[in-house]
Amino acid sequence: MNRRSFLRLSAASLGTGALLQFTPASAALSHFARHNGEAPSPFSFVQLSDTHVGHPLGTSAFERAVDTINALDARPDFVLFTGDLTHDSEDAGEHARRMKRFQEIAGRLRVRKRFHVPGEHDAALDGGTLFREHFGDTHYSFDHRGVHFIGIDNVSEGKPIVGSEQIAWLRRDVARFPHTTPIVVFTHRPLFDLKPDWEWFTTDGDDVMNVLAPYDNVTILFGHIHRAHHHTSGNARHHAARSLIFAFPDPATTEEKKPLPFDKEHPFRNLGIRQITTPALAINDIELTAREISGTEGIQQLNKGGLL
């Protein structure tokens, strides 16, 4: 069994997200059944991130993503939201209204379950109080068809940190499982030092990864950086989802952290649909409808044209 190929990406990146499909090889089925007590069965789910409901740019892309997911031929089992569901506000009442608006839009998804972890815009100002009132715990775990899922909160302390108490909880949580158990972690910030001076890191991310290091099959899904990114460390693969509000540049090409400029020749760059097929994991990036756009002010033009 190839430990690196247990999680297959099968379909859409929706500006912010990806449809992921768990398709273990037939040889892996008996292996997992023998070692873990349960043989996993194929399934798919969607990751969405950084919807920023309440941001001046609006919710058009988020609503478009919901429509796209609902139109999929095979309904995903659930949707994971990896933080920054809302844009923060110092007015608690306004922030609560933004959370309700998020719930209204997300509630249109034709899926059985939705799972959420907070981003700093959801939880940093009040330590996650409003988030817990609307969405429940900021960290938790669940099992689905032979895979163990873990939601990690690395924002609620108002800085990029998980904290010793949550790490102790994580250690107890995973100690129940054999090292061959497939594990999917979903969180907001990257758990490795991607670009620390842009706050693309988690202070104690290494401590989290040390807890997960003995496990053969670990996938970490995160957001925060508003762009696709893939990274491997040991037995763990880290995958960032795009944002549904705007894209950030590649930090390897610039020192300035600001949204990417609008390109009228490619108006949907970084906001399109990504299709990934198995078994070769072929990637096909598909831009959305090629409607004429004028102007140079970025995603605002997309909203004005009704294209998202």
Q: Give the pLDDT score at 185.
A: 95
Contact 14, 188 (CB under 8 A): no
Residue written as token pair 């925060």 = 224
Q: Give the span between the Cα atoms of 276 and 115, in whole angstroms.
A: 23
Strand 218-222 and strand 147-151: the pairing is unpaired
| Topology (CATH level 3) of domain 3-304 | Purple Acid Phosphatase; chain A, domain 2 (3.60.21)
Q: Give the pLDDT score at 203.
A: 98
Query: Where does residue 1 rank: exposed (0-12), middle (13-18), buried (19+ CB within 10 A)?
Result: middle
Contact 77, 43 (CB under 8 A): yes
Q: Give the pLDDT score at 262.
A: 60
Q: Give the pLDDT score at 58.
A: 84
SS3 171: helix
Q: Mean pLDDT for each 10-residue chunk of the chain (308 residues)?
A: 43 56 60 61 84 90 85 86 96 98 97 96 97 98 93 97 98 96 94 96 98 93 90 90 87 90 60 36 34 30 33
pTM higher than the cut 0.85? no
Q: Give the pLDDT score at 274.
A: 35
Name, in order, each residue with C-beta under 8 angstroms of 35's C-beta and a sequence gap of 6 or more: 178, 180
Indicate if the alpha-carbon torsion angle 128, 129, 135, 138 is positive or negative: positive
Comparing CA positions, the residue from 214, 170, 145 lying closest to residue 6 is 145
Contact 23, 281 (CB under 8 A): no
Reported residue count of the chain is: 308
Q: What is the DSSP letter of 256?
A: -
Q: Which two tokens stand for residue 201?
A: 């890191």
Q: Give the pLDDT score at 261.
A: 73
Q: Give the pLDDT score at 38.
A: 62
Residue written as token pair 């957001």 = 223
Q: Give the pLDDT score at 243.
A: 87
Q: Give the pLDDT score at 16.
A: 47
Name, in order, each residue with C-beta under 8 angstroms of 210's C-beta and a sequence gap of 6 or more: none
Strand partners, 231: 238
CA distances from 64 to 71, 116, 214, 295 (A): 11, 19, 40, 22
Q: Give the span between the Cα atoms of 105 and 36, in whole angstroms.
A: 38
